[in-house]
Structure 1
Amino acid sequence: MAKGSVKRIASANESAIKTLRLGTFVPTLVSLVLRVLFRRSSLPPSKGALALYVLTFFPAFFLSNYLVKIGSPRRDPTTGTLISYGEDLNQPGVTEWCFDILYITWACQVGSGAFGEWFWWLYMIIPLYAVYKLWSSVISPMFFGRSDAGSQPDAPVEPSLSKRQEKLRKREERGDPRVKSRTVKQQS
């Protein structure tokens, strides 16, 4: 079972790495083609547009190379057997955020080629999300304490029961002798 899981992760990582390698240059080419087809008046791009592109290309290039490095499966050169599957690129957390930044960068590159430089405002999602996560997980609990929406602090919390436990509870309420004998056995 474990070997199947390792092979599945390695296969998923290899396909993600192919996407990352294509994503490094394809959005740039698509942006240029869209700019030529739909926005010839914007050729050559302004200095501001080039600066935005360069400022976003290098972090995306760095993140892409980082994900390729940590996710590349290692194989034995002679036999081709899998030595290490690399880090799971489908895991939540930092890896997921790296992919989100890459996807937003690629969308902004293509969108600016098709619709104009105003499309780069979409890139503001990244710092806004970072501020939201910082506020909700660090600042707000530190200064205002954790507040669970909809629950009252003094109300007793009912533990959720499984279907089997619920069925046993109902039998016990009916006075089923099988349940009472079980509870007696468990107590002794």
Structure 2
Amino acid sequence: MVISLNPMANASSKRIASANETALKNLELGLLIVNSLSPLLRFFLSLVTSRSFIPRKFVIFLHVVLVGGSIVTWRWFKTVGTPSRAGSGVRVGADLGGKGVIELGWDLIYMTWICTLGSAILGDWVWWLSLLIPAFASYKLFSTIRPILAMFLPGIFGPKNPQAQAQQQQAQGNAAATGGEDRPESKRQAKLKARMERGDKRVQQVQVQRNR
């Protein structure tokens, strides 16, 4: 989105630019605090407990990969979320509070922070929580492409029973159109109907009086 440089700039664009600036500052501060505090906590706990200061190689690998991914995501957020000049106007950055890929980027950063600090305090087993990142990403990706898959494979990715669902909606619409006349009869009405079928004279007399 490109806006002109004048006092009447779009209020929504200004709000997005301000929110992005705040989010990027908090993100930079969070990256600094988490990655500085984690080794300090590990060192302190290695002195007071039997835990080793240096984690296992696999944990180091996960830490490097996820922290590196967080830094790359931060740089990408800074690129797409910062306003830039575009000719005679300003190109407003993408909303960093949006959904889709941006939301997955935040999930990666937050889960990395949780695993980094959690493993420093509780132990290296906390890094198993990092498996939630690809699991959630796969779920979001499937939710995004499911409507497309349903177009080609409706029997697998479509509604469970579209015919039954359509019939139910049609029945509800008919009931609403007739003012609720299709509602099931009450127990009293069912008993009176049964008596009439058996030829109960009292019920027949009441029915005759109503007809009059």
TM-score scaled by length of structure 1? 0.69
Conserved? CA contact 1:13–1:89, under 8 Å: yes
Q: 1:67-126, CA deviations, whole angstroms, 9 ceiling, x for partnerless residues?
A: 1110012379xxxxx833311111111111111111111111111111111000111111
Q: 1:39-79, CA deviations, whole angstroms, 9 ceiling, x for partnerless residues?
A: 44321333232222112122111111101110012379xxx
TM-score scaled by length of structure 2? 0.62
* Separation in 1, partners of 2:20, 2:84: 11
Unaligned 5+ segments in structure 1 are 77-81, 159-188
Unaligned 5+ segments in structure 2 are 1-7, 174-212
Say yes or no: does 1:47 pair with 2:47. Answer: no
* Separation in 1, partners of 2:133, 2:24: 22
Please show how residues 2-81 of structure 1 align to structure 2 within 5 Å: 3-40=10-47, 41-74=51-84
Deviation at 1:23, TM superposition (A): 3.0
Please show how residues 13-162 of structure 1 align to structure 2 within 5 Å: 13-40=20-47, 41-74=51-84, 83-138=90-145, 141=150, 142=153, 144-147=156-159, 152-154=165-167, 155-156=169-170, 158=173
Instruction: Work out which of the two has the higher radius of gyration on C-alpha atoms and give 1 or 2.
Output: 2
1:134 and 1:18, CA in 2 relative to 1: closer, same or farther beyond 3 A? Answer: closer
Amino acid at match of 1:146: G
Amino acid at match of 1:22: L
Deviant stretches of 4+, over 6 Å: 148-151
1:84 and 1:138, CA in 2 relative to 1: closer, same or farther beyond 3 A? Answer: closer
User: How many correspondences in the alignment?
Assistant: 153
